[in-house]
Amino acid sequence: MAHLIMADQNRSSSAASKRILERAYALKTPDEAKALYGDWAVSYDQHLEQGLNYIAPACIAQILVNVLADRTASILDIGCGTGLVGAYLVGHGYSAIDGLDFSAAMLNQARSKQIYQKLLPGDLNTVLDIPDQTYDAGISCGTFTHGHVKADALDEILRVLKPGACFACTIHREVWQSAGFGSKFTQLTASGVAELESMNEQPFYENAPDDGRFCVIRRL
């Protein structure tokens, strides 16, 4: 797969970008995802922004803006990748943003943009090395999708958020049930840990179907 992606790296045509996206949507396991992002990191922004007109980072950042007035709030960008979401948050005036991702290659790209205070290596399918109730808010874009992260990761994410904090995230429509998000929200609400405050169906890419569920989850 690496040599195919390398061959694509200098082409920003939407055909090349769509081929990589198809590979991403065919991922079955987190190990496959890590390998893909290791190979893709350098050309990721070019493929997503120019090749595919990826609008989800701007949209989810705006959703956080709507519920988080305090521009000094500490925010964790979960599955931050190369930092596309972080760049929009900085544009909205937030300054205390950390990023977390399990791909060293994606974190290296994010580091070069000098957006984040801290960049934390971490796997969302395991226990995170972050103390309880650290952050005022969380955000995540494109990470709850095929072969990436199961709904139980929400337990860890909510653990590191302060009571009252909001978590703005996208969840791909196709994994909502299969990765357990529907039943997870029922469980979190019943146990008084968190509630799904809003959910809008929107596209990840300009002029594409409404494949994303853009959510605000409130830690209680």
Task: Give percent helix, percent strand, percent coil of the chain, each to the nearest 5.
Answer: 40, 25, 35
What DSSP element (H or E) covers 155? helix 153-160
Q: Which stretch binds ligand SAM (CB under 6 A): 65-73, 90-98, 119-127, 156-164?
A: 119-127
Nearer to ligand SAM, 95 or 125 (CB): 125
Q: How many residues bind ligand SAM (CB under 6 A)?
A: 21
Residue nearest to ligand SAM (CB): 81
Q: 219 pairs with which residues across the strands?
A: 194
Q: Is 101 in the site for ligand SAM (CB under 6 A)?
A: yes
- Name the minimum Å distance from CB 203 to ligand SAM: 14
Whether residue 210 contacts residue 155, with contact meaning beta carbons closer than 8 Å, is answered with no
Give the residue, chosen from 106, 171, 179, 217, that forms a contact with ligand SAM under the rule CB under 6 A.
106
Kindly provide the residue ranges of all beta strands, DSSP E only, lying in the chain, ordered along the sequence: 74-78, 96-101, 119-121, 135-144, 161-172, 194-202, 212-219
Q: Which stretch binds ligand SAM (CB under 6 A): 5-13, 100-108, 161-169, 210-218?
A: 100-108
Q: Are strands 74-78 and 96-101 parallel, antiparallel or unpaired?
A: parallel
Binding to ligand SAM, residues 140-199 (CB under 6 A): 141-143, 148-149
Q: Which stretch binds ligand SAM (CB under 6 A): 15-23, 61-69, 81-89, 206-214?
A: 81-89
- Name the minimum Å distance from CB 141 to ligand SAM: 4
Binding to ligand SAM, residues 1-60 (CB under 6 A): 30, 33, 37, 57
Nearest to 58 by CA among 185, 170, 210, 134: 170
Whether residue 163 contacts residue 220, with contact meaning beta carbons closer than 8 Å, is answered with yes
Whether residue 123 contacts residue 103, with contact meaning beta carbons closer than 8 Å, is answered with no
Nearest to 154 by CA among 208, 194, 203: 194
- Name the minimum Å distance from CB 192 to ligand SAM: 27
Q: Which stretch binds ligand SAM (CB under 6 A): 111-119, 121-129, 161-169, 188-196?
A: 121-129
Where do contacts with ligand SAM occur on this chain (CB under 6 A)?
Answer: 30, 33, 37, 57, 79-81, 84-85, 101-103, 106, 123-125, 141-143, 148-149
